[in-house]
């Protein structure tokens, strides 16, 4: 059984609220705990208690025992996981006091975010990371290419061949094809590298909103896939102007939570090219998010739209390609991720 974790016990990992680099090695301690449940005269740590790093940035304990509780919250223990600015694990506890249930850091990202005065806990299944699987979806359209003047490779052409296939409708619930015309390429704002987080892409969106300040990604924009920082920011601008602003006008910018935007990597993900974002609407139930996805499909130009289920709350993966959105007949133009790895194309399903 693992040692119990208490007020002032140490953690180790990284802090990701810095600049150049964003994440740096860090240690710290637990700074909040139960006031009436103690272990060797120190308050017992609990789920969602606060940690602080030597740098002054904070995090929260995000895993705990599901058998032992203090103040109706799971007690924390050696190797429990921390997320926030602080990302790491508890590395020491009371070696004379043990908690039932083995612990350990999960092998997936987690996050706690505050939204309109309440805390929302996210785990990996609440995010669109799995929508980057090149065998299922999120294949970027290579006709025209990702950036004007950059021709597709033979491998990209072969991968995108299925884009000209018409979707197979497997559910009569929602089979209306999108008929919104593609928007012409964006006239891009001039940027220099590194681009500041407060660089304004559109009236309601900054570079930080779609990169370092999302719930999960929190990555600075960097050049990759043959695209410069300016190219990627231009792609982000296209998304903000054509998708983000249209959704904000209809449903309110304050109602939208961007869980993931730009991400570094080496796959075919449109996130890696600044073309895609994953959105949650925490004030909406499944039906409400479904209705937002339907409105987006029927009224807003986009490259790909996926209504995704599989976690605590559904989210919307939506991309925009300033070089030209994939055709309406594309087999993966829009669809529903009904569970991890399982998709229904040509249909938006309401899984209430």
Domain ranges of the chain: 3-107, 125-345
Quick check: 252 pLDDT over 60?
yes
User: Sign of torsion, CA 222 227 231 236?
Assistant: negative
**Is CATH 3.30.1380.10 the right assignment for the domain spanning 125-345?**
yes
CA distance 38 to 43: 4
- Write out the two tokens for 40: 């060797």
Please provide residue 150's backbone torsions phi and psi, each rounded to the nearest 5 degrees: -105, 105
Q: Where is average pLDDT lowest: 111-125, 200-214, 281-295?
A: 111-125
What per-residue confidence (pLDDT) applies to 222?
A: 92
In the predicted model, is pLDDT for residue 170 greater than 50?
no
Of the pLDDT bands very low, low, confident and very high (cuts 50, 70, 90), residue 97 is confident
Q: Which residue has the higher pLDDT, 265 or 144?
A: 265
d(CA 294, CA 277): 17
| 3.40.190.10, 3.30.429.10, 2.60.200.60, 3.40.50.960: CATH of 3-107 | 2.60.200.60
Cβ atoms 124, 83 nearer than 8 A: no
Q: Which of 9, 3, 15 is CA-nearest to residue 30?
A: 9
Residue pair 330/164 in contact (Cβ under 8 Å)? The answer is: yes
Q: How confident is the model at residue 5 (pLDDT cuts 50, 70, 90)?
A: very high
∠310-316-319 over CA atoms, to 5°? 130
Selected residue with higher pLDDT from 10 and 225: 10
Higher pLDDT, 151 or 175: 151
What pLDDT was estimated at residue 14? 87
Size (the chain), residues: 352
pLDDT at 119 exceeding the cut of 80: no
Sort strands 334-339 and 304-308 into parallel, antiparallel or unpaired: parallel
Measure CA of the first residue to CA of the last residue in the chain; give whole Å: 40
* pLDDT of 18: 84
Strand locations in 85-233 (E): 86-90, 94-98, 110-115, 118-123, 200-202, 205-206
Would the pLDDT of 37 be above 70?
Answer: yes
| Range with lowest mean pLDDT among 11-15, 104-108, 126-130, 344-348 | 104-108
Least confident segment among 67-76, 183-192, 215-224: 183-192
pLDDT digits (tens, 9 = 90+) for 188-233: 888 888 899 999 999 999 999 999 999 877 889 999 888 889 989 9
Predicted local confidence at residue 57, as pLDDT: 93
Tell me: cis bond preceding 192? Omega within 30 of 0 counts. no
Percentage of the chain beyond pLDDT 70 is: 76
How far from the centroid of its chain's Cα atoms is residue 233's Cα? 18
Residues 6+ apart with CB under 8 A from 142: 152, 156, 157, 159, 160
- Run of H or E residues at 157: helix 154-159
Closest to 48 (Cα-Cα) out of 10, 80, 26: 80
- Mean local confidence (pLDDT), 243-268: 91
Distance (Å, whole) CA 14 – CA 8: 18
Burial of residue 279 (CB within 10 Å: 0-12, 13-18, 19+) is buried
pLDDT digits (tens, 9 = 90+) for 300-326: 999 899 998 866 678 999 999 887 787
Lookup result for tokens 């891009």: 188
pLDDT at residue number 62: 85
């Amino acid at each position: 059984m693992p040692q119990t974790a208490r007020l002032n016990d140490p953690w180790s990992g990284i802090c990701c609220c810095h600049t150049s680099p964003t994440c740096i090695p860090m240690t710290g301690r637990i700074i909040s705990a139960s006031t009436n449940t103690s272990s060797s005269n120190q308050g017992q740590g609990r789920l969602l208690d606060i940690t602080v790093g030597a740098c002054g940035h904070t995090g929260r304990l995000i895993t705990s025992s599901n058998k032992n509780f203090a103040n109706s919250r799971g007690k924390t223990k050696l190797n429990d996981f921390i997320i926030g600015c602080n990302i790491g694990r508890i590395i020491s506890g009371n070696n004379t006091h043990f908690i039932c249930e083995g612990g350990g850091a999960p092998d997936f990202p987690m996050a706690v975010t505050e939204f309109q005065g309440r805390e929302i806990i996210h785990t990996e299944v609440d995010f669109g990371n799995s929508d980057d699987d090149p065998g299922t979806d999120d294949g970027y359209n290579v006709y025209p290419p990702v950036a004007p003047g950059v021709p597709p490779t033979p491998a990209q052409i072969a991968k995108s061949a299925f884009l000209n296939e018409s979707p197979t409708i497997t559910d009569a619930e929602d089979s209306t094809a999108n008929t919104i015309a593609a928007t012409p390429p964006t006239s891009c704002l001039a940027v220099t590298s590194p681009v500041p987080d407060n660089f304004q892409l559109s009236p309601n969106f900054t570079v930080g909103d779609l990169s370092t300040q999302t719930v999960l990604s929190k990555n600075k924009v960097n050049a990759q896939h043959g695209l410069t920082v300016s190219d990627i920011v231009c792609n982000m601008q296209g998304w903000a102007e054509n998708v983000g602003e249209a959704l904000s006008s209809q449903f309110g910018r304050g109602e939208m939570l961007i869980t993931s935007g730009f991400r570094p990597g080496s796959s075919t993900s449109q996130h890696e090219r600044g073309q895609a974002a994953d959105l949650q609407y925490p004030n909406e139930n499944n039906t409400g998010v479904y209705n937002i996805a339907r409105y987006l499909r029927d009224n807003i130009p986009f490259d790909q739209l996926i209504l995704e289920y599989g976690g605590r709350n559904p989210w919307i993966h939506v991309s925009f390609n300033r070089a030209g959105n994939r055709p309406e007949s594309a087999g993966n133009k829009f669809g529903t991720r009904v569970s991890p790895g399982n998709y229904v194309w040509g249909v938006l399903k309401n899984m209430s």
